Structure 1
């Protein structure tokens, strides 16, 4: 029970009420200051994010400008890889017009145009290595046979592309031992089938093939230098047929086999 006069009790209640109001006001001010600090931190974080993003974008733009429009990243070195029959120095000389060009501006079409003079180039890839190196990786055509034309005998690849004239200026110093391709016109279906067969043969075994004939894409025949005849059939499963044929020849080299039939490689036949 509260003691004191009514005036004293009313004064105490007023003092308690003022204290409560003051504490509530103080808590409110603390809360407001905390909210202001939190909002300020978020706004500062957003500002830092914008600054970092804009700075990164500016650096990217600067890098693009340097790479594309200035000589700092221009082609000074051209490397040619993957050559076998081609002279890499000759290819580099053909690509010399690209030197001094900004690396990023060198297009595949420009490289292709400069490589058109090399019939032996089947395909290529271009790698740009900053700051100044252009690497051109070549894949050369594989010579698979000799083909008789009106102008003389030529060496061709599996697609029927003429690579060089036998005994001509572009011919290698040491001519390859290749089979004669008797399979219709260059690029015909029969020729393409015969070309795929020749391409599937190991290079050392290809030298033992005197002629490849094909009256149709399903009737490819190999004439070996030993005199034996190989019925190949279609060009399907040529890798498998080549493996079976070489194994058969090794296994029967002392038997005197005159013909091999690998048209069904799982059930080959010899005579």
Structure 2
């Protein structure tokens, strides 16, 4: 910092040293020049503060202090460069879409974990163990028979029970065609049974077996009159599997009210199925093709009031679009 003090001027001529103001000696020593300008030499000096470093005012620059270096990083200036570079890196804000997606994933993960925990508790909790079983839809079977077959399910948690498991337990009961299960917490199980439908009777010895369209024997009776079903003449053992299935398929397509009016069914071939009504009329059915349409046409013909003068003895629906009565 520059000093604010003004320089001082001092006279260094011989007249000042000798104390006189002029004389012949002075003039002679000064080369014959006269006046104070010839004897007096003016010099300028500037005082230096006592606290100035050594060498200041003598033409030397003060030494600059050395910076302390960080061990292991070389000199001080080089060690400061990485820190300065790090401070100059700009931090951009995170995009809103990315932040929202991360939040959604976090919430979804939490919900999934919570649901999984609840499912695990419900699946293995004894609180939901089966205690009561209710059965519906049975006609050939009794509810007690179904409940006995499902006894292994008691004490098992409801979430672990499936329709397939119930159907497997009911396989020995041939009357059951399908089943559906509904849980009724905390400990109830509702089982809806769909049974096979008997369509005919087949005589075996002294008894008659109730069979469905697939020929599965569902029950037995000694009095065919107690069951409103036609009798298949000879049964599967006498007429063969193909004729039996063709006849059973025809009977399975008939509505219940028409089926109740039949007395028996027979087949000379798969294309010549015949039915007999309890009143003695004959129904020429033909083959098993278009059985749904034939069933509707036959039901309509049977509803036509009978003419006492011209009673109908034969209903021919083998060609259902052109039925014939005679």
TM-score for both structures, normalised by structure 1: 0.74
Q: Is the 8 A contact 2:202 2:210 kept in 1?
A: yes
Evaluate the alpha carbon distance shift between residue 267 and residue 72 of structure 1 in structure 2; reply closer, same or farther with a 3 A threshold. Answer: same
Aligned length: 235
* Alignment of structure 1 residues 103-252 onto 2, 5 Å: 103-150=158-205, 152-167=207-222, 175-182=226-233, 185=236, 188-251=241-304
Which position in structure 2 is the counterpart of 1:72?
A: 127
Measured in 1, the distance between the counterparts of 2:132 and 2:161 equals 13
Measured in 2, the distance between the counterparts of 1:247 and 1:61 equals 59
Measured in 1, the distance between the counterparts of 2:97 and 2:302 equals 82
Give unmatched runs, 5+ long, in structure 1: 1-31
Q: What secondary structure is seen at the aligned counterpart in 2 of 1:235?
A: coil
Q: Shift of residue 117 of structure 1?
A: 3.5
Q: Shift of residue 177 of structure 1?
A: 1.8
Give unmatched runs, 5+ long, in structure 2: 1-89
Offset from partner CA, 1:221-268 (integer Å, 9 cap, x none): 011122211110112222221222232233262221111210001111
Offset from partner CA, 1:2-31 (integer Å, 9 cap, x none): xxxxxxxxxxxxxxxxxxxxxxxxxxxxxx
Q: What secondary structure is seen at the aligned counterpart in 2 of 1:164?
A: strand
Measured in 1, the distance between the counterparts of 2:325 and 2:98 equals 87
Q: What secondary structure is seen at the aligned counterpart in 1 of 2:292?
A: helix
Measured in 2, the distance between the counterparts of 1:85 and 1:153 equals 15
Larger relative contact order (Cα-Cα within 8 Å, sequence gap ≥ 6): 1
Offset from partner CA, 1:191-218 (integer Å, 9 cap, x none): 1221121122222222221111012222
2:316 is aligned with 1:261:
yes
Higher helix share: 1
Measured in 2, the distance between the counterparts of 1:88 and 1:184 equals 30
